[in-house]
Structure 1
Amino acid sequence: MHILGIDIGGTGVKGAVIDTAIGELVTERFRLESPRPLTPESLAITIQAVVAQHQWSGPIGIGFPAAIQHGIARTAANIDPSFIGLPVADYFTKQTGCPVYVANDADVAGLAEMRFGAGQNVAGVVLIVTIGTGLGTALFSDGHLLPNTELGHIVLDNGMEAERYASEAVRDLQKLKWKDWGDRFNHYLITMEKLFWPDLIVLGGGASKKLPKFAPRITTQTPVTPAHFLNQAGMIGAALFAEENLDK
């Protein structure tokens, strides 16, 4: 089945038509800058542009940077607070004229990796961490997702919120060398390991492409591997989520 998958990021909104049977893009990725401020109204205009670019009228899956409960946004860490309490799935359905299905952005990236990527056929606990403007997480046990974990907001033992200490945005802002940022990120992974003892950690998002630069700083007992889909996982997983929920 072909579904338009859209990934809402802190810096960019990406979309492509996905073949959900094989987890591959069937159109070129189309990217627009994320609007500032990122409000429901401004984001709707951007999503409409992505839909128009693909001349799309079918179902749409969206990976959204918030905890999503039954289609309603419950948090707003890197987006406008006016999203909190908004039924985003219904809102974007009305704005696009297409049936829209929305889930947490890291969760849908995790769906892609578990179905077709680095987590495929991995038993036990798999933790997926997306490294970007924040730190997104998806947690799976024997292939089953525990949604909306949002573990990038956990407070570390140094008193700092994880994504304000070890995200890619922090590395850029503070101009940290890869080894110094790698030590911070390793601190975060060690904390996750002590909490969940995963069998595999998968790293996605923009910084995952640079894994060789900071891999020597990672000291977890748990194997760590880059995401198969890198920063395409959000679009692919959003389409998979939509397909799973078409008849619900």
Structure 2
Amino acid sequence: MDVFGVDIGGSGIKGAPVDLERGDLATERHKVLTPQPATPEAVMDGVCEVVEHFGWRGPVGATYPGVVVDGTTRTAANVDKSWIGVDAAGRLSERLGAPVTLVNDADAAGIAELRFGAGRGRTGTVILLTLGTGIGSALFTGGHLVPNTELGHLELRGHEAETRASTRAKEEGDLSWQHWARRVEKYLAHVEMLFSPELFIIGGGVSRKADKFLPLIKGIKAEVVPAQLRNNAGIVGAAMAASLAAHPADQALPPLPGPSADPGPDLGAAAGF
């Protein structure tokens, strides 16, 4: 079964049909640059371009780099501030002429990694961190997602963490892998102190270069591993969310608990834990 997933990032918008039986892209993804300024209409133009590239007709799952509640975007750290308070899922659905499910980008990557990737079978506290334009986070405990955690905005030594330990911080500061790894290590140590996870999964585009920096990170009690789905995790997770929204009785896929009184199907049961 293929479902379309789109991952909206601070630097790029990428998407593809996803084979949900394998947890992988059904074909090579298509990517366009995130427009600057990244206003809702400009970004939605990019999403439509990606979806229309495949001639896709049907439900679409999309990620957003910030807090999403009932399809409405509540924060805008790495996109234009005009996103705040927008019924983005509704507007995208009108543009595409199809149902759209919108979820936080790191949450989408997290559910994909727990179902198909590095977190598969783990039942303790697991934290996925996407290192990119900012730092996204997905927190799971007992297989259950705590949505919209946004741990990249934790303050660390007087600085917002993502301004020091994101991939953008590395690039803008022209930092060596060793220098940047020390910053990431300090950030992981702070998050570990707060949540005591058994596993950190490091995602985002930099995960494909994990061998350059993960061996330099010492002193973290939790296991630290790269995301297995790498930078495709958000696309896969978005497609999973869209599939579940279209077929809520399908327990083969883990759901995203919503903010309503009914949290939806049990994530642990759906993930097969």
TM tier relative to shorter chain: over 0.9
Aligned partners of 1:177, 1:140: CA distance in 2, in Å?
31
Contact 2:39–2:82 (CA<8 Å) still a contact in 1? Answer: yes
Aligned partners of 2:16, 2:217: CA distance in 1, in Å?
33
Q: CA deviation at 1:218?
A: 1.4
What's the % identity of the aligned pairs?
45
- What code does the residue aligned with 1:118 have? A
Give the equivalent residue in structure 1 for 2:197: 198
Give the equivalent residue in structure 2 for 1:165: 164
| Residue 216 of structure 2 is aligned to residue 217 of structure 1 | yes
Give the equivalent residue in structure 1 for 2:258: none
- 2:148 is paired with a residue whose SS is coil
- What code does the residue aligned with 1:58 have? G
- 2:22 is paired with a residue whose SS is coil
- 1:136 is paired with a residue whose SS is strand
Give the equivalent residue in structure 2 for 1:229: 229
Q: CA deviation at 1:117?
A: 0.4
Aligned partners of 2:203, 2:155: CA distance in 1, in Å?
21
CA deviation string 1:83-120 (max 9, x = no partner): 10001110100111111000000000001000000000
Aligned partners of 1:227, 1:48: CA distance in 2, in Å?
28
Contact 2:3–2:239 (CA<8 Å) still a contact in 1? Answer: yes
Give the equivalent residue in structure 1 for 2:180: 181
Deviating beyond 2 angstroms after TM superposition, the runs of 4 or more aligned structure 1 residues are: none
Aligned partners of 2:72, 2:19: CA distance in 1, in Å?
26
| Residue 22 of structure 2 is aligned to residue 22 of structure 1 | yes
Q: CA deviation at 1:2?
A: 1.4
Cα RMSD between the aligned structures?
1.0
Spell out the pairing of 1:8-87 with structure 2 (5 A cutoff). 8-87=8-87
Aligned partners of 2:214, 2:51: CA distance in 1, in Å?
38
Contact 2:16–2:51 (CA<8 Å) still a contact in 1? Answer: no
TM score, norm. by length of structure 2 = 0.89
- What code does the residue aligned with 2:223 have? P
Aligned partners of 1:48, 1:135: CA distance in 2, in Å?
25
- 2:194 is paired with a residue whose SS is helix
Point out the more displaced range, 41-50 or 104-113: 41-50
Could you list the runs of 5+ residues in structure 1 that have no partner in the other structure?
Answer: none
Aligned partners of 1:102, 1:160: CA distance in 2, in Å?
29
TM score, norm. by length of structure 1 = 0.97
Could you list the runs of 5+ residues in structure 2 that have no partner in the other structure?
Answer: 249-273
Aligned partners of 2:155, 2:174: CA distance in 1, in Å?
22
Q: CA deviation at 1:167?
A: 0.5
Paired positions, count: 247
- What code does the residue aligned with 1:83 have? W
Point out the more displaced range, 167-176 or 26-35: 26-35
Aligned partners of 1:90, 1:174: CA distance in 2, in Å?
38
